[in-house]
Structure 1
Amino acid sequence: MEKTIVNLSQLRQQGAWNFEPYSQSITGAMSQLEKSHFPIVKLGTLGTTQRGYFINGIKDKGEIPLISARNISTEGINLNHVRYLTPEEHKKLEKTQVHQGDVLVSLIMRPGIAAVYESDKPANIDTHLAILHLTDKIDPAYLVLYLNSDVGQALVHSLSTGSIQPMLTITALNNLPVILPSLDEQKQIVVEAQRLIKEAGKLSKAAEDHRAEAQKLFGKLFERTV
């Protein structure tokens, strides 16, 4: 069990969402940063960050998706249960428009969870997401892997606040330290990570198939006893 290293009253005064900033996980993440031989930069130096707006009065009769935090996961972006904007509404909300290659980051629910917007079709974000328009110094897929990693999530949690549920502010997001290898090394990391994720998917499918076969086996054994 992890132990806090400061008095509880101090935690309350600082408005921390939880004790994560003072736990072994954030200590481990900071250690990784200190040991890294790559440059450490603040996320805000790698592009521009735009938070979505609170949008009221949507009639949901359009065709352009309004992406929310519930549509973002470590597996990517899904368009389940989204509301839709008309082209006119989309045009008015220019700053919240999403473009191919942008990184979307959840600010609530699971703060810091990110995904690359890979579609070339128009979309917008609501107030619970941020868009990262990145420079050519960082690969979007690499940044997503970093933010969704144990190190990235520990750092995000250390910056999250909120009295009811964890929340990440734009200021905190921009101040997030990012390990920044060269662009070629970033791309190599992405390729290797994707290979491992694909292999994990195959192993998971094989495990499901074996469990199904085991259930069938037990069924046959029971049939023999009848």
Structure 2
Amino acid sequence: MEKTMVNLSQLRQKGVWNFQPYSQSVTGAMAQLDKSPFPVVKLDTLGTTKRGYFITGVKDAGKVPLLSVRNISMEGINLNHVRYLTPDEHKKLEATQVHRGDVLVNLIMRPGIAAVYESDQPANIDTHLARLRLTDKIDPAYLVFYLNSDVAQALIHSLSTGSVQPMLTITALNDLPVMLPSLAEQKQIIAEAQRLTQEAGQLSKAAEERRAEAQKLLGKLFQEAV
């Protein structure tokens, strides 16, 4: 278990959620940024950031999904337990509307976890999500890959505040340093990451199948013994 000694007054002044700013993981992340072969820029130079509003939505009526933190994960965007807005409510809340290619980022619970909105269907975000609408300097899939990486997550955790649960402010998100390869290199990185992810999924499925076969074999042996 990692141990780090800091002055209590430092923690009070920092007002952070955890001890992450003083840990080896953040030191390591900063070292990787320093050694990056690519330019490092602040997130707010790559597009516009908008936080959602406090909207409740309804459970069983309406047609437009109101996305929240429960709908964003490293696997993408899901519509589990989603609430809805009516088309009229959606139109009135233009600032919280989501378009294809937008990057959605959790601000609480699992701060910084991100996913690309890949649908043409209308949707809105609530107050616990941020919407990033990017310039042509960065591929949305690459930014999501970066935000969900160990390096970015260590930095994000160090910036999270809150007395009850971790929370990432829009200011802190905008100040986040981002490694920025060329667009061609970004696409290469994403293609390789997707290949490895697919391969990992296949290996995981094969492992589950082998475990199931082992359980069947054990069951058969026990039955024969009886």
Same fold? TM cut 0.5: yes
Asked if the contact 1:60–1:85 (Cα under 8 Å) also holds between the matched residues in 2, the reply is: no
Where does the alignment leave 5 or more consecutive residues of structure 2 unmatched? Answer: none
Asked if the contact 1:116–1:141 (Cα under 8 Å) also holds between the matched residues in 2, the reply is: yes
Paired residue for 2:66?
66
User: Residue type of the partner of 1:89?
Assistant: E
Map residues 89-168 of structure 1 onto 2, 5 A cutoff: 89-168=89-168
Paired residue for 1:13?
13
Asked if the contact 1:139–1:186 (Cα under 8 Å) also holds between the matched residues in 2, the reply is: yes
User: Residue type of the partner of 1:66?
Assistant: L
2:152 is the counterpart of 1:181: no
Asked if the contact 2:103–2:115 (Cα under 8 Å) also holds between the matched residues in 1, the reply is: yes
Paired residue for 1:171?
171
CA distance, structure 2, for counterparts of residue 126 and residue 196 of structure 1? 33
RMSD over equivalenced CA pairs, Å:
1.1
Paired residue for 1:211?
211
Where does the alignment leave 5 or more consecutive residues of structure 1 unmatched? Answer: none
Q: Compute the displacement of 1:60 (Å).
A: 4.8
Asked if the contact 2:59–2:82 (Cα under 8 Å) also holds between the matched residues in 1, the reply is: no
CA distance, structure 1, for counterparts of residue 33 and residue 72 of structure 2? 26
Q: Percent identity?
A: 81
2:5 is the counterpart of 1:2: no
CA distance, structure 2, for counterparts of residue 5 and residue 119 of structure 1? 47
The SS at the match of 1:201 is helix
Using the size of structure 1 for normalisation, the TM-score is 0.97
Q: Compute the displacement of 1:59 (Å).
A: 7.1
Using the size of structure 2 for normalisation, the TM-score is 0.97
Q: Compute the displacement of 1:7 (Å).
A: 1.3
CA distance, structure 1, for counterparts of residue 104 and residue 157 of structure 2? 17
Q: Compute the displacement of 1:57 (Å).
A: 6.5
CA distance, structure 2, for counterparts of residue 179 and residue 138 of structure 1? 10
Q: Compute the displacement of 1:37 (Å).
A: 1.8
